[in-house]
Structure 1
Amino acid sequence: MKLAQDFDREHTEFGKLVLSIVSQLQPYVKHRIYIAETTGIVPHNMYRSTGIIDDAMIELYKKYEGHIKGEETLKLKFFTLVSEKLSQLFKKEAFHKNTMSTNEILNRELEKLEEIIEMDISDGLHLKGDFDDISYHQSDFEQPSFLYDDAEKN
């Protein structure tokens, strides 16, 4: 009975130590994920810091519960596990750096399909590109010719 109580007490203390370290670990993981997202290694909003910390915490419990006594040693081991998890993740997801998002492709195609419609004086609707035809602009660069009626009178 006493052995079970000791185990419960040690388990509770280990859990409290781990949870106290999580608050220090959170900004580190968020920043590493942010850097990976901005450099294109990982797609945006695909990974959360809490998920990576949870995975490392499970591994920490499996491997080291009851074996690590000091807070500094536990903190070092926890940070090491998280760093290894992030490194593995970045190696696995590195192919994203050389790929293009389907959203980018979609936006480019939609821009090409966009049609700008203009209205003329007689309320007729025309595509903007219709007036880019050369037949509408042949006289743009010609000097207008003026006829003088006075020339015959002189």
Structure 2
Amino acid sequence: MKIGQLAQHTGCGVETIRYYEQIGLLPPPLRNSSNYRVYGAEHHERLLFVRHCRSLDMSLDEIRTLLALREEPRQGCQQVNTLLDRHIEEIEQRMAALNDLRTRLDSLRRQCNGDHPVEECAIIQGLSHCAQCDGSPAEPLHHEHTAATF
């Protein structure tokens, strides 16, 4: 099948498929006499595996590791368990950070309950005060692979 067909069958964008090829998550496809990429069942299955991992918010490096482990089907799965345990811990840390953010935003939101001019808005004043006291930018709550939708 051609790249457009693979994209349609997997719900994955053509550019994403090309990117996954470029970074080695998908093996290079064969080319036909017209130099079109020709994908097979292996590409289809592997792309679905990658997409499922991405839906679980796994990084490209984590997926690369899992793909390498799949190539050694007889070895023990302790490395898979360890990878997943680390991923779960990372998610728990992000959830705690998001809960803290929610608490701070709720507290800030409770500071203004009316329709005042912005110059009197307790939220704006609170944000300005926090920026002056702290002096440092807020910690980002995402990690490297949440920004990309690959």
How high is the TM-score relative to the length of structure 2? 0.24
Rg comparison, structure with higher value? 1
The answer to which structure has the higher helix fraction is 1
